[in-house]
Structure 1
Amino acid sequence: MDEIKGICREEIALEGLDGITFGSLWFRLQNCMPAFPLPIDDYTKPFIWELISSLEDVNFFELPTARPPITVADDAKEFSELLATYVWFDQVAVEPQQVVNDEESALRGCSTTYYTRKNITSEVRPETGKILTFAEVESR
């Protein structure tokens, strides 16, 4: 389980301050190298969610508008044998990034929604200990 948590944490972190949506996470896990050790299907998604929601260093946010899904054209996918990594080029229009220098939280980087998203970590992982289920979160 530590391996699965580690891979998920890496894929989430790679998105930087913008974070990652479920759709993008599932896509990235299905295409990561080395291969993710589990299939990404309706049976494993709730299990993966349970692991992710227990990661105390991961926060959860509600975006002001839905992010478009990742799409990859066949000619935009390049494989580098030297690095053994896939490089994906999203076909969606790139949103303008806003520089973030949040002195209160000591975070720096770029994000399209940092100042407009809503932190819902306390709703997802309340102090009562009842973490929202995958179905509850996905329906939001």
Structure 2
Amino acid sequence: MPNSPLPITHLHHIARVTSDPERSAAFYCQVLGFRPIKRPNFNFRGAWLLGYGVQIHIIERRSPAAPTSDEIDTRANHLAFAVDDHGPVLARLDALGIRYHQQVNAGGIPQIFFRDPDGHHIEIGIYPPHPPFIDDGPPA
């Protein structure tokens, strides 16, 4: 059945490569409220975090590379998290001195974009319920 959805039950984890796993783990815990969870004893540094029903696996980069720019690109690969109110997010980012870009996109969605210490983009949005499927078929 080529058009049948895969039997996926949920998103398990997102991996983030970093030159400084401790710094990145602290960022995701302090800024976004993730909590450390046990991780196998791999032969490289890293951390596993859990929050909002999804894990973030922080993985030490083999060869350190700094971000090429500090520009916030709203069209770059990014993680997106949903909130009901941007107020607490803005207060936290301001208190921590994290630079961000705030906008309302063409679909009317209020968004905040910022970067983690390794330059990975993060979006926080106030999203409506999921829109209907284009083909009215069953969800994946």
TM-score, normalised relative to structure 1: 0.22
Structure showing greater Rg: 2
Compare the two structures and name the one with the higher helix fraction. Answer: 1
Higher strand share: 2
Give the TM-score, by structure 2 length: 0.22
